[in-house]
Chains A and B, each alone.
Chain A
Amino acid sequence: MSPDLLLRIGSATIDTIYMVAVAGLIGSLIGLPIGIFLATSGKGELFPAPTLNHIVGLIVNATRSTPFIILVVAIIPFTRLLTGTSIGTKAAIVPLTIATIPFVARLVEAAIREIDKGLIEAARAMGATPMQIVFKVLLAEARPALTLALTMTAVSLIGYSAMVGAVGGGGLGDLGIRYGYQRFMPDVMLVVVIVLIVLVQLVQSAGDGLARRFDKKNRKT
């Protein structure tokens, strides 16, 4: 493989990491509070707002059920408005972020709903405010599950980021399609796939390790 190609693979890897990191960060920052809201705004819960809960749930479901590739195309005007372009790494971050938000929201909701209701009751009995319950009880107790949720999000994002390559998004997916597929260079395709596998492995191992450290429940006595 030529040094030029290796350089391209290197820069495409950096592009992918950049897209995943930025979209993952922004998406999680927005998705996390939405997930908390979904988990705590049902009838009789901490912040009861059943109607709004229902509406947000519908929007989340709608976004999640739209195939990613269609989402990318559908929001091109919005992407252009935000970034001034519809191709390249910067533009790809917009649909990736939009797809991350509902994904994170549902995972966060599930992680929080897993928490024993008795802990919420105990905190209420201590005179905790709803916000104190969210921060001192729910988020603290859900930390291992939230870590795994964010890991899963990052892994999914790596997959999605390869997909935006099909519409000129940049990164490893773009490289694989343009060189590996369109120019019949199976060795490039192979390297791209291997780099993606390594990335996913690294993210998953780091996430699992972190979650294990946070998990004080399944410790051996």
Chain B
Amino acid sequence: MSVSAQSATPSADAAVVFDGVSKHFPASGNSGAFTALDNVSLTVDRGSITGIIGRSGAGKSTLIRLVNGLEKPTGGKVLVNGVDVGALDEAALRALRRSVGMIFQHFNLLSSRTVFGNVALPLEISGMDKRAIEQRVRPLLDLVGLADKHGRYPAELSGGQKQRIGIARALATEPKLLLSDEATSALDPETTQSILELLKRINAELGLTVLLITHEMEVVKAVTSDVAVIDHGRIVERGHTFDVFTHPKHATTRALLSGLAGSKLPDAVVRALKPQPAAGDRAVVRLTFFGAAAEKPLISQLIKSVGAEVNIIAGTIDEIGGAPYGSLVVAYGADAETSGRAERFFTENGLVTEVLGYVA
């Protein structure tokens, strides 16, 4: 498990360990004192794609900046490949940064440099000679599918293309860890998917560990193997992405999940929902099924065993962290007999159910 509770003893597999990390900003100028991170412990496994999700202001930007020392913790330790980032002097910190790639929400490409020049920049900074840079940059542009744009300037590219350049630039120094700071937040959904696909491919082909922060559950769902939910500077929930999505425990997680397509009920149903049933009402129930259950003809079996009408109100079948997952909201008679039969059916088939309310 990549996001483990025991982080004081980092496993050999850990790419990044946050060990009781706090970040406190003292009051200055027009802003008061502020605690961005409060005793955060988290382990990021080597080779994983780990997501940290939270609302804006939850502390996730600060958290990711601790990894390459752009911010210093006021308490606790951050270990990158076992090295305590806070203990490094400036020169050692620069060396570490050259081994950690980073991509940004607004791409942060130099407008004065061509595509080639932007990808070459980190190599120039590390003192590589021109010929070697040329040999390194070409395949990177191929990897992100922009070899034909090498002489263009960022202003001539679309947002998705700019982020591809950002990714090629981040990979130039052949890092083992890639930090992604809301890298798809400025992109449209379609472009977001293609960038996420690219991150997935890089993770698989280069064995690169990816630590990404985002406020979008779609991003977490699409690429991450592990996730941590951050709220008000604390990690409130963590685990394998599939587990967190299918069994969210914390209210913040549920709130973030409720925005996902397919998990929302139609407004008319939400308005009609009552907490207690009256005679003749129907129960509205959310069924969650995964793995083998997702492949059974559940609905026809349910109708047979309930022996009454079953309405489908909302539903989605999806993949989370590569595993099939389905969510179905159905309504059936709320009388004791029908409900009893339905519940027996759910238990027999190992379905997770949640009664959302009752409608007339």
Contact = CB atoms under 8 A, between A and B. Distances in A.
- Please indicate whether A and B come from the same complex rather than being unrelated chains: yes
Interface of A: 116, 118-119, 121-129, 132, 136-137, 140-141, 143, 214, 216-219, 221
A126 B153 contact: no
Nearest to A216: B153
Nearest to B113: A140
B64 to A, nearest CB: 10
30 contacts: A118-B104, A118-B108, A119-B108, A119-B110, A121-B70, A122-B102, A122-B104, A123-B121, A123-B125, A124-B70, A124-B97, A125-B70, A125-B102, A125-B179, A126-B125, A127-B93, A127-B94, A127-B96, A127-B97, A127-B122, A136-B125, A137-B110, A140-B112, A141-B112, A214-B112, A216-B111, A216-B112, A217-B111, A217-B153, A219-B155
Contacts of B97: 124-127
Contacts, number: 71
A16 B113 CA distance: 37
Contacts of A214: 112
Residue from B93, B121, B124 having most chain A Cβ neighbours under 10 A:
B121
Given A118-B106, A122-B102, A141 B121 contact: no
Contacts of B243: none
Contacts of B35: none
Contacts of A124: 70, 97
Interface of B: 68, 70, 93-98, 100, 102, 104, 106, 108, 110-113, 121-122, 124-126, 153-156, 173, 179
A216 B155 contact: yes
Contacts of A140: 110, 112-113
The interface residues of chain B, by DSSP majority, are classed as mixed
A141 B156 contact: no
Nearest to A221: B156
Nearest to B124: A136
Given A116-B108, A121-B108, A122-B102, 8 more contacts: A125-B100, A126-B98, A126-B173, A127-B93, A127-B125, A128-B94, A128-B125, A219-B156
Contacts of B154: 216
A181 B121 CA distance: 58
A214 B112 CA distance: 8
Contacts of B70: 121, 124-125
A122 B183 CA distance: 13
